[in-house]
């Protein structure tokens, strides 16, 4: 269940399965109020369950009327006031999704119990920032075809040529995820976490990390390393640089940097992980705070030179999980991403600027993600609304209200007037959500009120900072281990730092399709002809358009002046169109 975004039950430490009774009754747990019987298809095994926890078990659960949550969620996706973030590149939306999959990756899925010890099960189903979603169970244990024959390099996949042979689109490019190993679904990606083939943006992000690993392998091989020693050294280096990107490139852009630095310095206070203890994922983070990323999604993207305005639904079409590649066995060669459009390279010498830099939407209570247009969600009525799913899931888990969390943390509490400002005012007040607000909605509204949608507010920032710092501390390889004095060593624009831009520069495949096609020259302006005595439309057409029979073209272009094509007056100014 951890690989399915429709997860409807959670194993919470100290509580067992939340939603278990409804699962066993054959009901959809988070759709209370619109209960639809379904055949239970899930075996709930506590030994194999991904572990969740509560940051604030002492706070009361908030379980409002499901019908009111459905109404609010639908209103959040009907709002039309989407506004761009002023400076957050849109690539971070999908880096955030890639990161989410990494910390909820299940290394034990599909593995029989007999093949795993209890320790392996616990370790395999606990969150960490170790890039398990890329590396799987490692080259010695992984049964999938993730690795090349040397068991050191990761496989990448070829595109399908679809253009003229003298253009990149007509070539087979190394710009897709590896595919073709599942005979029942040939387009399925052969990667550690299949969820990273859910849409093309997260898929291309995963591909960038495959190539990043292989680049690091090539650099370390020059030092004489080989075999398993080479792989382990490369994995550690890649993982530590990835954690640096998370902690010092991604998070400061989306949460309060002061709160983040405070948690790094003092340590998490509400998600403490003892040495040797496997961390559990806090539901306040997983089901509320980190879902701020849903508000960042755009409905269209400038993707590459072929698709300057690609609708979001197309990014799902060209993915093996959600789409069908329009009949191809791999990504068509006209679809690899132009990274210059998703990340900001303006300070990089020698990188030409893109026609458009996509920015995320602001962090607010208006969602632009049209789930109803995606094939997997058609016909699901209310449940095809992402905001409804998020709100009902928070109710299922009994998350505390936003006000309760803010008060407990000692942070400023949004007033009823602050919560209810905006297009959802009537709904919020009628259902008393202005005084007790679902935690996810509260965190989005807090970002609006305190930071104009540019970063999370104090509650959201604290929950996200606590979680990521704790998970990095608990990772097998950690930049916060020991004295926390590790620094990046790979080439970067600023020595001692490392960003997603640095990673993509190192991979050196920013724009596989090359420069934009030149725009066709604009057509010459139409000629103006002054009618002379004896002229007819036919004679003018013969003179300027090369054929007297084209007189109607001139007539149609000048209907505001000519009512009868057989009568034109000397001195008339006629437009002569270009044909």
* Widest CA span in the chain: 101
pLDDT, tens digit (0-9, with 9 covering 90-100), for 285-300: 999 999 999 999 999 9
Residues 6+ apart with CB under 8 A from 450: 412, 457, 458
Residues 124, 158: Cα–Cα separation, whole Å: 30
Residues 295, 426: Cα–Cα separation, whole Å: 21
Q: Assign 52 to helix, strand or coil.
A: strand
Residues 6+ apart with CB under 8 A from 398: 18, 61, 62, 63
**Phi, psi for residue 9 in degrees, rounded to 5:** -145, 155
* Nearest partner of 99 among 298, 244, 221, judged by Cα: 244
Tokens of 324: 């069908």
DSSP assignment of 407-454, as one string?
Answer: HHHTPPPPPHHHHH-STTHHHHHHTTTTTS--HHHHHHHHHHHHHTTS
Element (H, E) at 574: strand 573-576
Nearest-5° Cα angle at 337, 333 to 342: 170
Radius of gyration of the chain (CA): 28
Q: Is 475 exposed, middle or buried (0-12, 13-18, 19+ CB in 10 A)?
A: buried
- What are the Cα distances from residue 71, in Å, to 76, 247, 380, 382, 398? 9, 36, 15, 9, 19
User: What's the pTM value of the predicted model, to 2 decimals?
Assistant: 0.85
Q: How many CB atoms lie within 10 A of CB 226?
A: 12
Question: What is the predicted pLDDT for the residue at 348?
Answer: 94
Question: What is the predicted pLDDT for the residue at 276?
Answer: 61
Match 């073209």 to its residue by tokens: 553
Q: How many CB atoms lie within 10 A of CB 44?
A: 16
The pairing of beta strand 51-53 with beta strand 281-282: parallel
Nearest-5° Cα angle at 194, 385 to 207: 105
Helix axes 439-451, 402-409, angle to 10 degrees: 60
* Nearest partner of 154 among 165, 146, 142, 164, judged by Cα: 146
Residues 6+ apart with CB under 8 A from 423: 75, 79, 81, 366
Are the C-beta atoms of 146 and 154 separated by less than 8 Å?
yes
Residues 454, 469: Cα–Cα separation, whole Å: 21
Per-residue pLDDT of the chain (579 residues; tens, 9 = 90+): 334 445 556 778 777 777 644 433 333 433 333 233 333 344 466 666 777 889 999 999 999 999 999 999 989 987 667 889 999 999 999 999 999 999 987 655 554 444 544 444 345 556 889 999 999 888 987 777 899 999 999 999 999 999 888 899 999 999 999 998 888 888 999 999 999 999 999 999 999 999 999 999 999 999 999 999 999 999 999 999 999 999 999 999 999 999 999 999 999 998 877 666 677 889 999 999 999 999 999 999 999 999 999 999 899 999 999 899 999 999 999 999 999 999 999 989 999 999 999 999 999 999 886 666 555 555 566 566 788 889 998 998 999 999 999 999 999 999 999 999 999 999 999 999 999 999 999 999 999 999 999 999 999 999 999 999 999 988 889 999 867 789 999 999 999 999 999 999 999 999 999 988 777 788 888 899 999 999 999 999 999 999 999 999 999 999 999 989 999 999 999 999 987
Are the C-beta atoms of 79 and 365 separated by less than 8 Å?
yes
Residues 6+ apart with CB under 8 A from 144: 136, 181, 190, 192
Element (H, E) at 301: strand 300-301
Q: Assign 20 to helix, strand or coil.
A: helix
Match 């490019």 to its residue by tokens: 173
Domains and CATH numbers, the chain: 10-506 (1.10.640), 527-576 (3.10.350.10)
Question: What is the predicted pLDDT for the residue at 370?
Answer: 65
Nearest-5° Cα angle at 81, 77 to 83: 110
The DSSP code for 160 is B
Residues 182, 188: Cα–Cα separation, whole Å: 7
Measured between its terminal Cα atoms, the distance across the chain in Å is 62
Strand order in the sheet with 10-12: 16-18, 10-12, 51-53, 281-282
Length of the chain equals 579
**Phi, psi for residue 53 in degrees, rounded to 5:** -145, 175
* Nearest partner of 369 among 249, 246, 201, judged by Cα: 201
Tokens of 306: 């072929």
Are the C-beta atoms of 98 and 193 separated by less than 8 Å?
no
Residues 6+ apart with CB under 8 A from 490: 216, 237, 241, 498, 502, 506
**Cross-strand pairs, 176:** 157
**Cross-strand pairs, 337:** none
């Amino acid at each position: 269940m951890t690989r399915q975004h429709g997860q409807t039950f959670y194993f919470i430490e100290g509580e067992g399965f939340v939603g278990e009774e409804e699962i066993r009754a054959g009901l959809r747990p988070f759709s209370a109020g619109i209960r639809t019987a379904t055949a239970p298809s899930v075996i709930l095994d506590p030994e194999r369950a991904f572990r969740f926890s509560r940051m604030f078990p002492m706070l009361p659960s908030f379980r409002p009327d499901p019908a009111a949550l459905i109404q609010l969620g639908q209103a959040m996706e009907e709002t039309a006031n989407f506004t761009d973030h002023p400076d957050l590149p849109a690539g971070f939306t999908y880096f955030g999704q890639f990161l989410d999959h990494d910390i909820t990756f299940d290394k034990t899925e599909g593995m029989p119990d007999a093949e795993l010890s209890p320790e392996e099960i616990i370790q395999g189903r606990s969150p960490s920032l170790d890039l398990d979603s890329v590396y799987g169970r490692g080259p010695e244990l992984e049964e999938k075809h993730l690795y090349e024959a040397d068991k050191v390099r990761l496989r990448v996949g070829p595109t399908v040529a679809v253009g003229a042979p003298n253009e990149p689109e007509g070539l087979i490019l190394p710009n897709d995820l590896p595919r073709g190993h599942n005979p029942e679904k040939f387009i399925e990606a052969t990667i550690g976490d299949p969820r990273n083939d859910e849409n093309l943006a997260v898929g291309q992000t995963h591909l960038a990390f495959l190539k990043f690993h292989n680049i690091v392998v090539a650099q370390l091989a020059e030092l004489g390393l080989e075999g398993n020693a080479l792989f382990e050294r490369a994995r550690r280096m890649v993982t530590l640089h990835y954690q640096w990107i998370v902690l010092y490139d991604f998070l400061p852009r989306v949460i309060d940097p002061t709160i983040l630095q405070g948690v790094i310095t003092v340590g998490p206070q509400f998600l403490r992980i003892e040495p040797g203890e496997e961390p559990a994922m806090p539901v306040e983070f997983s089901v509320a705070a980190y879902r701020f990323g849903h508000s960042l999604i755009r409905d269209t993207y400038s993707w590459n030179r072929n698709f300057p305005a690609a609708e979001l639904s197309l990014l799902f079409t060209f993915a093996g999980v959600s789409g069908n590649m329009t009949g191809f066995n791999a990504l068509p060669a006209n679809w690899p991403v132009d990274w210059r459009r998703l990340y900001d390279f303006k300070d990089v010498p020698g990188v030409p600027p893109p026609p458009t830099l996509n920015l995320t939407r602001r962090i607010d209570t208006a969602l632009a993600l049209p789930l109803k247009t995606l094939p997997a969600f058609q016909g699901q009525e209310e449940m095809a609304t992402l905001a409804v799913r998020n709100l009902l899931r928070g109710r299922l888990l009994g998350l505390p209200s936003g006000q309760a969390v803010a008060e407990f943390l000692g942070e400023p509490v949004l007033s009823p007037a602050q919560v209810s400002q905006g297009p959802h005012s009537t709904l919020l007040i009628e259902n008393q959500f202005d005084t007790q607000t679902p935690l996810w909605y509260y965190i989005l509204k807090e970002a609006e009120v305190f930071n104009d949608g540019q970063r999370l507010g104090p509650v959201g920032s604290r929950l996200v900072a606590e979680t990521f710092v704790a998970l990095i501390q608990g990772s097998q390889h950690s930049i916060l281990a020991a004295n926390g004095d590790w620094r990046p060593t790979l080439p970067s624009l600023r020595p001692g730092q490392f960003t997603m831009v640095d990673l993509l520069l190192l991979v050196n495949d920013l724009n596989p399709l090359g420069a934009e096609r030149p725009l066709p020259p604009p057509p010459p302006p139409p000629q103006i002809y002054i009618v002379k005595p004896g002229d007819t439309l036919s004679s003018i057409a013969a003179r300027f358009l090369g054929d007297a029979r084209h007189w109607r073209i001139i007539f149609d272009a000048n209907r505001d002046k000519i009512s009868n094509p057989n009568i034109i007056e000397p001195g008339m100014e006629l437009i002569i169109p270009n044909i």
